[in-house]
């Protein structure tokens, strides 16, 4: 009877209720306990391995689902006629922290009753970019919730469905749960099923990992498609793939503006995000290394288009190397100072392409404008690709030292 009691507790974690059911109805009563909307379920947890190859081997060399692992807060969302309740990973009710999430769920989840899991992430509303976890923590306050909601808007990335319209999905294989999830969650700017890739190829997973990190994520969770949802268990049907290092960059990086993307929200009518390049002194060109939309004051947003006006180009300048196509190109001229949390491998940006890993360039993670326009620097005086490669290598050494 022990496995039955454990499962009952994991899907209905109220000890008093379990003991009473056992006393009155015996094991039959325990077996009859079902997932119930409004009663939190103990979350399933992931194991961790440090390479895609090891994960594929552990999961039986089969096709798996690799999904973005976001830098946010895990929510268990219970939707029913009476409204929406949000539980934290520790099963606390945190509904009052996220009034906007309630509205997003009501509008974009098709089932009348459902239990879903999602990662809530802070976003920059003007650029759509994800922000670090610290920004989201401003939402966990008792007072000033409406103000925090305006200042720190959020997006929902749904990653599992445990129940829909009174049907328990926890014993369905993950592939089926994901299909159901995709059928009930409407994809909008603020809600979506978490990006996923199905493959059995470790190299494809490593590439997808770079993609995830370039999009502000921590890494990936790789899932066994035949695995059921084991409430309260940590097991190898979900495996986290995270980078083994994380370090803060202390140096500023001077980069050249080579493109811009139109803004939205408060930045409508001006540029919301800029495309930045380093200087490759060997090739005498400017390969991109980052997009940037954070750190700009309203005054900066007014001033920069004026400073760049004379350098606009209808086509990509011949000395700019980019896989992204901005709304407007600029001939390399204006240099700005930036800071970033670290330098990561990138499948998108060509700066340092192939220098660290085949078919990968380098990019800045969580870049931010310091407020300083470097009028004293010509574009050729910007931070070089060699310097960025060196920063990446130093950051690895620093982490190895900490690990020892």
What are 282-330's pLDDT values in tens digits? 999 999 999 999 999 989 999 999 999 999 999 999 999 999 999 999 9
Tell me the CATH architecture of domain 253-403: Beta Barrel (2.40)
- The domain limits of the chain are 2-31, 69-199+225-230, 253-403
Query: What is the average per-residue pLDDT within 63-75?
Result: 95
> Tens of pLDDT along 15-68?
999 999 999 999 999 999 999 999 999 999 999 888 899 999 999 999 999 999
- 179: Cβ contacts below 8 Å, ≥ 6 apart: none
- Can you tell me whether residue 385 is helix, strand or coil? helix
Q: Is the pLDDT of residue 195 over 80?
A: yes
Which pLDDT band holds residue 133 (cuts at 50, 70, 90)? confident
- The share of the chain scoring above pLDDT 90, in percent, equals 77
Q: Which of 149-153, 226-230, 259-263 has the lowest mean pLDDT?
A: 149-153
Residues 379-389 have a mean pLDDT of 95
Greater pLDDT, 296 or 126: 296
Give the pair of three-digit tokens for residue 14: 């109220």
Q: What is the pLDDT of residue 376?
A: 86
Q: Per-residue confidence at 132, pLDDT binned at 50, 70, 90? A: confident
Q: Which two tokens stand for residue 244?
A: 């083994």
pLDDT at 255 over 90: yes
Does pLDDT of 403 surpass 90? no
As a whole-number percent, the residues of the chain with pLDDT over 70 amount to 97
pLDDT at 142: 78
Radius of gyration of the chain (CA): 24
Helix axes 2-11, 15-31, angle to 10 degrees: 120
DSSP for 68-116 reads EE-SSEEEEEEEETTEEEEE-TT--B-GGG-HHHHHHHHHHB--SSEEE
- 162 Cβ partners below 8 Å, 6+ apart? 35, 41, 115, 116, 117, 168, 169, 170, 177, 229
Given the residues 53, 58, 62, 69, the one annotated as active site: 69
Q: What is the pLDDT of residues 198-253, one digit of tens each?
A: 999 999 999 999 888 878 888 999 999 999 999 999 899 999 997 655 556 778 99
Spatial separation of the C-alpha atoms in residues 256 and 125, rounded to whole Å: 24
Q: What number is the average pLDDT over the span 268-281?
A: 94
Q: Retrieve residue 256's tokens.
A: 């050249």
Which CATH number does the domain 69-199+225-230 belong to among 3.40.50.10420, 3.30.470.30, 3.40.50.1220, 3.40.1260.10?
3.30.470.30
DSSP string, 8-41: HHHHS--HHHHHHHHHHHHHHHHHT----TTS--
Is 69 assigned a catalytic role? yes
Give me the pLDDT at residue 389, please: 94
Of the pLDDT bands very low, low, confident and very high (cuts 50, 70, 90), residue 134 is confident
The rounded distance, in Å, linking the Cα atoms of 125 and 127 is 6
Classify 151 as helix, strand or coil.
helix
* Listed range (130-134, 186-190, 246-250, 345-349) with the worst mean pLDDT: 246-250
Determine the Cα–Cα distance for residues 172 and 305; give it in Å rounded to an integer.
54
Q: Please check the confidence at residue 337 and state whether its pLDDT lies above 60.
A: yes
Phi, psi dihedral angles at 390 (to 5 degrees):
-65, -45
pTM: 0.76
pLDDT band at 135 (very low <50, low <70, confident <90, very high): confident
Arithmetic mean of pLDDT over the chain: 92
State the pLDDT at residue 141: 81
Residue 165 φ then ψ, to 5°:
45, 55
Q: For residue 86, what pLDDT is reported? A: 98
**Among 113, 107, 110, 115, residue whose Cα is nearest residue 165:** 113
Q: What is the mean pLDDT of residues 97-121?
A: 97
């Amino acid at each position: 009877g022990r496995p039955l009691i454990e499962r009952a507790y994991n899907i209905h974690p109220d000890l008093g209720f379990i003991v009473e059911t056992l006393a009155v109805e015996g094991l039959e009563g325990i077996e009859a306990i079902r997932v119930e909307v409004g009663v939190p379920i103990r979350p399933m947890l992931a194991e961790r391995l440090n390479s895609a190859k090891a994960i594929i081997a552990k999961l039986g060399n089969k096709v798996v689902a690799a999904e973005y692992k976001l830098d946010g807060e895990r929510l268990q969302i219970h939707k029913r006629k009476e409204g929406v309740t949000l539980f934290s990973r520790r099963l606390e009710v945190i509904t009052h922290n996220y009034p906007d999430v309630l509205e997003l769920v009501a509008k974009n989840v098709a089932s009348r009753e459902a239990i879903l899991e999602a990662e809530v992430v802070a976003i920059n509303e003007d650029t759509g970019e994800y922000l670090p976890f610290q920004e989201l923590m401003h939402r966990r306050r008792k007072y000033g919730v409406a103000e925090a909601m305006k200042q720190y808007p959020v997006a929902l990335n749904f990653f599992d469905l445990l129940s829909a319209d009174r049907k328990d999905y926890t014993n369905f294989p993950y592939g089926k749960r994901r299909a159901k999830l995709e059928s009930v969650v409407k994809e909008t700017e603020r809600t979506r099923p978490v990006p996923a890739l199905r493959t059995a190829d470790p190299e494809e997973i490593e590439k997808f990992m770079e993609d995830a990190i370039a999009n502000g994520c921590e890494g990936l969770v790789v899932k066994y498609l035949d695995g059921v949802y084991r409430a309260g268990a940590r097991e190898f049907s979900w495996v986290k793939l995270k980078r083994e290092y994380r370090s803060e960059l202390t140096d500023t990086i001077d980069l050249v503006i080579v493109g811009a993307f139109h803004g939205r929200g408060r930045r409508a009518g001006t540029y919301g995000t800029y495309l930045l390049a380093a200087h490759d002194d060997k090739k005498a060109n400017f390969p991109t290394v980052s997009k940037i939309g954070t750190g700009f004051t309203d005054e900066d947003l007014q001033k920069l288009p004026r400073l760049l006006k004379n350098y606009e180009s209808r086509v990509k300048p011949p000395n700019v190397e980019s896989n992204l196509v901005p709304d407007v190109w600029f001939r390399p001229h204006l240099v700005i100072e930036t800071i970033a949390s670290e330098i990561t491998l990138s499948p998108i940006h060509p700066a340092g392409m192939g220098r660290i890993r085949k078919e990968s360039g380098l990019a800045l993670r969580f870049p931010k404008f310091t407020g300083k326009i470097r009028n004293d620097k010509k574009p050729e005086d910007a931070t070089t690709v060699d310097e960025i490669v060196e920063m990446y290598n130093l950051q690895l050494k620093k982490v190895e030292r900490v690990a020892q």
